[in-house]
Structure 1
Amino acid sequence: MKICIVKLSAMGDIIHAMVALQFIKKEIPNAQIDWVVESGFRGVLENNPHIDNILPINLKSIKKNKSEIFNQYKILKSYSKNNYDIVIDAQGLLKSAIVSKIIGAKIIAGFDKESIREGIASFFYNKKVHIAYDANTIDRNATVICEPLCIKITGEKIINKDKFLFSSSHVENLPEFFNLFVIGSTWESRNYPKEKFVEIADALKIETFVVCGSEEEHQKALWMQEQSEHLHVLPRGSLDELKFVISKCSLLIGNDTGPTHMAWGLNVASITIFGPTPTNRVYVTPINRVVKSKSEVNHYKLNKNDFSICEIEADEIVKIAKELLS
């Protein structure tokens, strides 16, 4: 069977969908699994033994140059020559549905119109999956990928998953024991205050590297480094190098964002800090814990002006961190 999964972005969503791969391979060991992804995120998928081909696309380039639509269409048409048995749109957006249709297959599967924000996307599928829009994000991703293949996914299977992120990189001079802080995200209201990250570092007294993905985050990390002898800025590298570093850390503490979710995919201890987003984006396990502000979250309309994450006390996170580190 030749399977093509369409999950274009973003990093955390791609990671949450990748958990399905190991279950497909257990049930259909000879399946060919290809994955269509925005080129900037291909590093997340690289080195996974269950993916046969990573098929990059750059739809974001169309925003800057409208004529790029023709180049991207040609790339997608070239992928259609692979003659897939099934294309699964795990994104549930109009653009991903169109991508799935262009690639084409006997079966094009995806969410039904009640299960996604852009319900029009479901008209492109001839096999539709229903799961509540406010259900756990990982359950949603695993279900939309596995159900069309007649593979049943349970919470127990997901909790007992094997790690599914892999790296071919090696980063030198890492200490034997160290923590990681992930301080950025796509919205400012999802970011835990830098001052409180410093409080956590000083309370734990463990060498800690700060992950930063933008220049703004880099400046914030430099400020944090100046405030605490335990904090150091992690030099920016590739996504493959980031996977390696996370795989070696003792504990990762971070906002609800892609690099934080990497810890879950690597079976590394983590604490995810939530403010305006729902905690059911993740699975809580003995080593993967969450801390949520007191604000209520509407799954259907997230409030980007909800800065309640700032009200979470550092002591609450320190307490959980000490439990995990012990």
Structure 2
Amino acid sequence: MIGDVLISSLICENLKRNFPTAEVHYLINRFTHPVVKNHKYIDKFVFFEDEYKNHKLKFLSFLNHLKSESYTHVFDAYGKLESNLMTYFTKAQFKYSYKKWYTNWMYSKTFKESNKAKTEAGSAIENRIQLLQLVPDVKVLNHKPKIYLSSTEINSAKSQINSLGLRNSNLIMVSALGSGDSKTYPLNYMAHLLNEISENTDAHLILNYMPSQQEKIDQLLEYCNDLTRSRIINNLRPESLREFMAICSQCNLIFGNEGGAINIAKALDVPSFAIFSPWIIKEGWNSFEKSHPNTSVHLSDFKPDQLMGKKVKELKMNYKKLYQALNPQLFNHQLIEFAQTHVN
């Protein structure tokens, strides 16, 4: 969700830069707001609250609020039932979204999404850009998301790091766990890679995870050797997403499971090394790996025959077996070279 909100902000930016006098509103889930806070091309944020999902009267009130805004153009980058309803209630003259036989009637223009990337931006960003280009004569002035941190936030992160005696130290942010088991690289494999990083660089490690994931982090640490455990900074725990982003901005690189943290790092121009889940389509999210210091690995890079001809649903059901096939020895040397390049 965070990655989606971040890349969809490109629609807002390009609209505002094409039409400076237009007022651009961005409708998002409230918990995703930190990744687009202070965005210079968004005039107003409209929040979809969690309670709307289970409280029909409050959702209806929200829909009526959208109707009262008198929007002229709506870009539905989500394309699900909730956003379909919100789009319909706006009564905007121009409505744009993805082509689906059961909702085409409510949109002015639609297009068919693609999973095949044509540029290094990746298909997820390309689909958003194509949605933008349904507007005649609009120019694409930027296709790379950006996060806007304040100098206060950056200085606060530096102060936290310095207070731990880590001034001028090499730091690696580790996306230790994915958003769920099916997007989390096996813990013993992850520990192996962390051990390799510790043995081949002098970097300190910052593990990024939710408090609710502490049990799995404890399991990960059991697999790590003593050197790796000594390199992990245990008393640097961001208390908010903005604080995480500020600390991440001070790291040499980020490494780990592909997801929101990796997308945040890319938007901060922090070098990234991502491990994709076998059931995720890599072409959608392996963005900016040619012109920027980002790289990623996927089972398809090494054993494409294990994925060939299988649908996403089947791959997701067998994620454990497929993850086991993505042995760290397959890309260990690639990771070490990447880490040494950006650390030493």
What whole-Å deviation, never above 9, does each CA across 1:207-237 have from its counterpart, x for those lacking one?
1101102412x33334556742111244142
Match of residue 13 from structure 1: 4
Flag the 1:268–1:289 CA change in 2: closer, same or farther, 3 A.
Answer: same
C-alpha change, 1:41 and 1:300, in structure 2 (3 Å) is farther
The question of whether the paired residues in 2 share the 8 Å contact of 1:47 and 1:166 is answered with yes
- Is 1:204 matched up with 2:220? no
Shift of 1:262: 0.6
Residue 238 of structure 1 is matched in structure 2 by 240
Give the paired residue count: 302
| 1:6 counterpart residue number | none
Unmatched runs of 5 consecutive residues or more in structure 1: 1-9, 114-118
Q: CA RMSD in A?
A: 2.6
Q: Confirm or deny: 8 A CA contact 2:178 2:257 kept in the other structure.
A: yes
2:172 is the counterpart of 1:179: yes
Greater CA deviation, 97-106 or 86-95?
Answer: 97-106
CA distance in 2 between counterparts of 1:238 and 1:103 reads 33
Which residue is equivalent to 1:256? Answer: 258
- Measured after TM superposition, the shift of residue 324 of structure 1 is 3.8
The corresponding residue for 1:291 is 297
User: Identity over the aligned pairs, expressed in percent?
Assistant: 18
Structure 1 residue 274, shift from structure 2 partner: 1.2
Q: CA deviation at 1:42?
A: 1.6
SS at match of 1:35: strand
| Match of residue 321 from structure 1 | 339
Deviation at 1:195, TM superposition (A): 1.6
1:220 corresponds to which of 216, 219, 233: 216
Name the TM-score, length of structure 1 as normaliser: 0.82
TM-score, scaled relative to structure 2? 0.78
Distance 2:134 2:251 in 1: 35
Q: What SS is found at the alignment partner of 1:138? A: helix
Deviation at 1:17, TM superposition (A): 1.7
Q: What are the equivalent positions in structure 2 for 1:24-63 lying under 5 Å apart? A: 24-58=15-49, 60-62=50-52
Tell me: CA distance 1:255–1:24, structure 2 relative to 1, closer, same or farther (3 Å).
Answer: same
Distance 1:261 1:45 in 2: 12
TM-fit CA distance, 1:297:
6.8
Q: What is the Cα deviation at residue 71 of structure 1? A: 0.8
Q: Which amino acid aligns with 2:261?
A: P
AA aligned to 2:33 is R
Of the structure 1 ranges 316-325 and 276-285, higher mean CA displacement relative to structure 2 is found in 316-325
Return the structure number with greater strand share.
1
Q: Which residue of 1 aligns with 2:69?
A: 82
For the pair 1:306 / 2:295, whether they are aligned, the reply is: no
* Higher-Rg member (1/2): 2
Q: 1:237 is aligned with what amino acid?
A: E
**Structure with the higher fraction of residues in helix conformation:** 2
